[in-house]
Structure 1
Amino acid sequence: MSKVVAVTGGIGSGKTEVCKAFTALGVPVVDLDHIAHDMSAPGSPAMQAVRTQFGDAMFNAEGQLDRAKLRELVFAEPDALDQLNQIMHPAIRLEAIRQIAQYTEAYVVLAIPLLVESRADWQMIDHVLVVDCDEQTQLTRVVQRSQLSEGMAQAMIAAQSSRDERLAIADSVIENDQTLDNLQEKVLEFHKNFSKTCQ
């Protein structure tokens, strides 16, 4: 069975670019955000549960989830975030485990943004790789990438575990504070070193 490397980091830290670099190296990537996105298809069991919990207002006329409305709700009301997580997390975890089991490569990357918050649910993880940068860099990236107000970006960062909490569970850390080329070189170095431990 493949070993599992969890790639985590705060919003705007560069997890997506790190996962792209792993993919380019031929490492399978199971991405919880992608699974969650697939599960938000109109009419899916997860979306039916979301509609029951939060009402029709969270959906547009075509029955698609209005992500912006839902995001505003869960950041305004902590209870709403807990309720959403109770609907989505078990289903996402089961699908991730199913996908991981399909691979026979030496290791699989599990892209998991909120690992600190859910570490107890992921017993199959062999190695935690944290993608790290300072909070001001995070904030700048989130505002630029998502076209959000600085206040909303700060709220999103604050809603996640702290930088110190992420670093406390890390087996390895990739600092994403330079160029994309530099980041890709760091991923390649990790890949070479970790592949040796899988032999």
Structure 2
Amino acid sequence: MSTPFVVAMTGGIAAGKSAVARRFEQLGIHVYDADQAARAVVAPGTEGLAAVIKAFGPGVLDASGHLDRAAMRARIFADQAARRQLEAIIHPRVRAWLREHARADRGPYCVLAIPLLAENIDHYRWVDRILVVDAPEALQLERLIRRDGIDEALARRMIEQQAHRLHRLKLAHDVIENHGEERALDAQVAQLHRRYLELAQEKRRHADGGDGVHAEPGSAERP
């Protein structure tokens, strides 16, 4: 069974990916979120959570037996080796979860929300299109501090741990600029939705059974 048309959406932390995802969902498009996948693959009773406990000890669990994500996040941002160890456990499982859901999707196309797409691009060559939600770093910082209630030092470390903004933009086929009022996203998403419907129809017409991104990244089409 061939994979339907798949758009991988990424962007820096607090760039506005969730706001864009909501708009695609309002248009009837399924959005499969890597953060949702990351929670699912370490849910209580999963092999993923067992692997995390084996690597980091039972202290990573909260009182309900779930992974204490806030404590784990603080730990890995302070310890690069711990971060790499956790990623080695979670990322392959997240990729498998996303691909499974994309293959099963029966909509005209689907969107995968992947914050760390640029850092893991070699594992996602099978997607058809890359969409970057972009915002200036100063605005990301302001939003992140307000959203998570953290101090500026931690917010800066979190931004610095991700791929550079320009690196993400070089990968983009399409860019949504989210540097103003949230309602400005409506027209941008609507225009991309029309474009993706056309591309999905074209893929169905010319399906050849192959995988891979079907356009050269780096020449982003801005709505």
Short-chain TM bin: over 0.9
Matched residue SS, 2:130: strand
Q: Deviations over 1:27-77 (max 9, x none)?
A: 111111111112232232111111111112211233221112111111111
Task: Name the CA distance, whole Å, in 1 between partners of 2:181 and 2:63.
Answer: 42
Matching residue within 177, 180, 183 for 2:182: 180
Instruction: Supply the distance in 1 between the matched residues of 2:131 and 2:5 (Cα, whole angstroms).
Output: 13
Question: Is 1:150 matched up with 2:152?
Answer: yes
1:194 paired residue number: 196
The 5 Å alignment of 1:166-177 reads 166-177=168-179
Aligned to 1:111: 113
Q: TM-score, normalised by structure 2?
A: 0.86
Q: Higher relative CO (CA 8 A, sep ≥ 6), structure 1 or 2?
A: 1
**Kindly tell me: are residues 62 and 105 of structure 1, through their superposed partners in 2, closer, same or farther at Cα, counting changes over 3 Å?**
closer
1:67-93 CA deviation, whole Å, 9 max, x = no partner? 121111111111111111110111111
Equivalenced residues, count = 199
Distance 1:69 1:105 in 2: 37
1:147 counterpart letter in structure 2:
G
Q: Tell me which amino acid in the other structure corresponds to 1:154.
A: R
Give the corresponding residue for 1:26.
28
CA distance in 1: counterparts of 2:66 and 2:47, whole angstroms: 13
State the partner residue of 2:80.
78
Q: Which runs of 4+ in 1 moved over 4 A?
A: none
In 1: Cα distance, 2:99 partner to 2:174 partner: 22
Supply the distance in 1 between the matched residues of 2:110 and 2:200 (Cα, whole angstroms).
Answer: 11
Query: What is the root-mean-square deviation of aligned Cα atoms in Å?
Result: 1.1
